[in-house]
């Protein structure tokens, strides 16, 4: 029974953590306090569920236990009677709500408030709303875990001490925060997309959670092209999930995937969203990235990839969202036709951030191999392999590298579009 209780608690933590924190924080206005209270609730669950049985609604049990922890803490801190009555009123109102509402959009927009430092907004959203730990976030943002942890603590204290309102803003205030919210949802999707199959990390569920939040944003902002573009982008990528591995679990690069395994329903939905986004007459980052995925999808119909269209779209993406990711994607698009131009783009973007950015090294290696500079290509690919956590991807990259002395150009071209860590 102890094992069953632990698995039930782990499932709740993986599936409902963000919703629980958002609901508690919306009620208490204290993110750090909500996290502490929920942690205590999980400890209580592991202590009592083996003896009393797993509740029919574990999420609701945890929410109630955490709310009680918060209420008791307020009482212990000597909160004023009027405030205590208000907490009781909120507690009673929430206790009557079943199932509890999803408050994550409110919390996302709180974390994107202008009072919060711009550099910590996305990491804050990833931790509080989607449950990623500081170590994983620090790795994604190329920051030391201790430094990231301190920055997250300060941001949560800022929200509490400034009394920021837990609500979805309107008008210009909403537009001013939307970009950060979209970025966080996409970062969560990328983390779930990158999850190693079979790993017990829970990150694979993040892709589904991100798509769910993307749908909420489209419902909230039905005429917003970037929200539509983001959802389309995630659906295009998710449509290919079953084709990314072969029957033995081996990695299958994009240009070798069996297009008949792609989800037609997701692709049709994504195409509709991209078409709707185009009607707004505003072409932003996510509309552009969705259009890139649409080009890849067309291979399932035409049997070929339109590299000219990819180059044009990546040029536009680099203009709309300059950065390491868009630069690497742009270079990857150029490798098949002009590897020298791709290598020049990569060299121009080289910086401290690229030294541990695996896609930069993979793309550099394929460009060098396509130019016949095999020794340099092998050095770059060795670095990329050392930065790759997925054993199946490492095996595939090793296979590509082993084939270079005999067929450097063809192997490099095949690799060019296949292993960016971003879904795009």
Mean pLDDT by 10 residues, the chain (424 residues): 74 75 78 86 87 84 86 63 50 44 79 88 83 75 82 87 79 86 89 60 68 90 93 96 92 91 95 93 91 92 87 90 88 92 92 86 95 94 93 94 66 42 47
Q: Of the candidates 101, 133, 148, which is a domain's last residue?
A: 101
* Residues 324 and 419 reside in one and the same domain: yes
Q: What is the pLDDT of residue 195?
A: 62
Q: What is the pLDDT of residue 420?
A: 41
CA distances from 136 to 6, 131, 145, 262 (A): 23, 10, 8, 30
Beta-carbon contacts of 221 under 8 Å, excluding residues fewer than 6 positions away, are: 174, 178, 227
Contact status, residue 292 vs residue 310, Cβ threshold 8 Å? yes
Torsion angle in degrees (nearest 10) through CA of 407, 411, 412, 418: 180
Does residue 201 lie within any of the structural domains?
Answer: no
* Residues 351 and 418 reside in one and the same domain: yes
* Residues 167 and 232 reside in one and the same domain: no
Does residue 214 lie within any of the structural domains?
Answer: no
Calpha distance 4→14 (Å, rounded): 15
CA distances from 318 to 312, 349, 397 (A): 10, 12, 26
Q: Which of these, 207, 63, 67, 181, lies nearest to 124 by C-alpha position?
A: 181
Tell me: the pLDDT tens digits for 30-63?
Answer: 888 888 888 888 888 888 888 888 888 888 888 8
* Residues 147 and 86 reside in one and the same domain: no
* Residues 407 and 345 reside in one and the same domain: yes
Q: Of the candidates 305, 333, 352, which is a domain's last residue?
A: 305
CA distances from 46 to 43, 51, 131 (A): 5, 9, 19
Quick one: angle between helices 31-52 and 145-162, nearest 10? 100
The DSSP output letter for 241 is G
- How big is the chain, counted in residues? 424
* Residues 366 and 385 reside in one and the same domain: yes
Calpha distance 75→79 (Å, rounded): 6
Contact status, residue 86 vs residue 1, Cβ threshold 8 Å? no
pTM metric for this prediction: 0.76
Work out how many domains the chain is built from and give that number.
4
Which range marks the domain in which residue 360 is found? Answer: 307-424
Does residue 215 lie within any of the structural domains?
Answer: no
Please count the other Cβ atoms lying within 10 Å of the Cβ belonging to residue 343: 22
Does residue 37 lie within any of the structural domains?
Answer: yes
Calpha distance 347→78 (Å, rounded): 60
Q: Is the dihedral of CA 232, 236, 239, 242 positive or negative?
A: negative
Calpha distance 30→21 (Å, rounded): 10
* Residues 81 and 154 reside in one and the same domain: no
* Residues 108 and 80 reside in one and the same domain: no
Structure tokens of 407?
A: 């067929």
Q: What is the pLDDT of residue 122?
A: 87
* Residues 110 and 28 reside in one and the same domain: no
Structure tokens of 62?
A: 């945890």
Q: Which of these, 336, 295, 303, lies nearest to 424 by C-alpha position?
A: 295
Q: What is the pLDDT of residue 300?
A: 83
Q: Which of these, 187, 133, 138, 190, lies nearest to 421 by C-alpha position?
A: 190
Does residue 216 lie within any of the structural domains?
Answer: no
* Residues 278 and 343 reside in one and the same domain: no
Q: What is the pLDDT of residue 381?
A: 96
Calpha distance 61→243 (Å, rounded): 38
Q: Of the candidates 68, 101, 134, which is a domain's last residue?
A: 101
* Residues 93 and 135 reside in one and the same domain: no
Contact status, residue 394 vs residue 356, Cβ threshold 8 Å? no
* Residues 281 and 239 reside in one and the same domain: yes
Please count the other Cβ atoms lying within 10 Å of the Cβ belonging to residue 249: 11
Beta-carbon contacts of 348 under 8 Å, excluding residues fewer than 6 positions away, are: none
The DSSP output letter for 131 is -
Beta-carbon contacts of 209 under 8 Å, excluding residues fewer than 6 positions away, are: 18, 130, 188, 192
Tell me: the pLDDT tens digits for 68-86?
Answer: 888 887 665 554 444 555 5
Does residue 204 lie within any of the structural domains?
Answer: no
Q: What is the pLDDT of residue 86?
A: 53
Does residue 205 lie within any of the structural domains?
Answer: no
Q: Would you report the helix, strand and coil content of the chain in percent, each value rounded to 5?
A: 75, 0, 25
């Amino acid at each position: 029974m102890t094992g069953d209780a632990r698995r039930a608690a782990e499932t709740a933590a993986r599936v409902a953590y963000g919703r629980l924190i958002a609901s508690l924080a919306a009620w208490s206005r204290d993110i750090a306090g909500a996290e502490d209270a929920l942690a205590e609730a999980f400890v209580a669950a592991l202590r009592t569920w083996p003896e009393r049985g797993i509740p029919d609604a574990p999420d609701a049990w945890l929410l109630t236990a955490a709310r009680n922890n918060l209420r008791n803490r307020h009482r212990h801190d000597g909160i004023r009677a009027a405030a205590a009555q208000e907490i009781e009123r909120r507690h009673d109102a929430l206790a009557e709500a079943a199932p509890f509402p999803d408050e994550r959009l409110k919390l996302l927009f709180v974390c994107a408030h202008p009072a919060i430092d711009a550099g910590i907004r996305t990491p804050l959203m990833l931790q509080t709303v989607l449950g990623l730990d500081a170590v994983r976030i620090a790795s994604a943002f190329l920051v030391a875990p201790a430094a990231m942890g301190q920055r997250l603590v300060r941001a949560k204290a800022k929200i509490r001490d400034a009394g920021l309102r837990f609500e979805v803003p309107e008008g210009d205030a909403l537009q001013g925060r939307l970009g950060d919210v979209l970025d966080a949802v996409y970062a969560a999707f990328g983390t779930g997309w990158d999850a190693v199959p079979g790993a017990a990390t829970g990150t694979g569920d993040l892709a589904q959670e991100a798509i769910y939040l993307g749908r909420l944003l489209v419902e909230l902002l039905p005429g917003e092209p970037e929200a539509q573009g983001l959802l389309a982008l995630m659906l295009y990528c998710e449509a290919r999930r079953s084709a990314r591995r072969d029957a033995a679990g081996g990695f299958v690069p994009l240009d070798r995937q069996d297009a008949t395994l792609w989800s037609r329903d997701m692709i049709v939905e994504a195409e509709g969203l991209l078409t709707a986004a185009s009607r707004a007459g505003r072409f932003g980052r996510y509309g552009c990235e969705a259009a890139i995925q649409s080009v890849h999808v067309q291979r399932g119909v035409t049997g070929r990839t339109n590299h000219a269209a990819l180059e044009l779209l990546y040029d536009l993406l680099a203009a709309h969202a300059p950065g390491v990711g868009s630069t690497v994607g742009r270079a990857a698009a150029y490798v098949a036709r002009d590897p020298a131009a791709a290598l020049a783009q990569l060299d121009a973007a080289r910086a401290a951030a690229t030294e541990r950015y695996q896609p930069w090294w993979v793309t550099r290696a394929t460009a060098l191999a396509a130019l016949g500079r095999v020794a340099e290509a092998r050095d770059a690919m060795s670095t990329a392999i050392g930065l790759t956590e997925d054993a199946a991807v490492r095996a595939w990259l090793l296979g590509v590298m082993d084939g270079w002395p005999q067929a450097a150009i063809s192997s490099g071209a095949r690799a060019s579009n296949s292993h960016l860590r971003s879904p795009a």
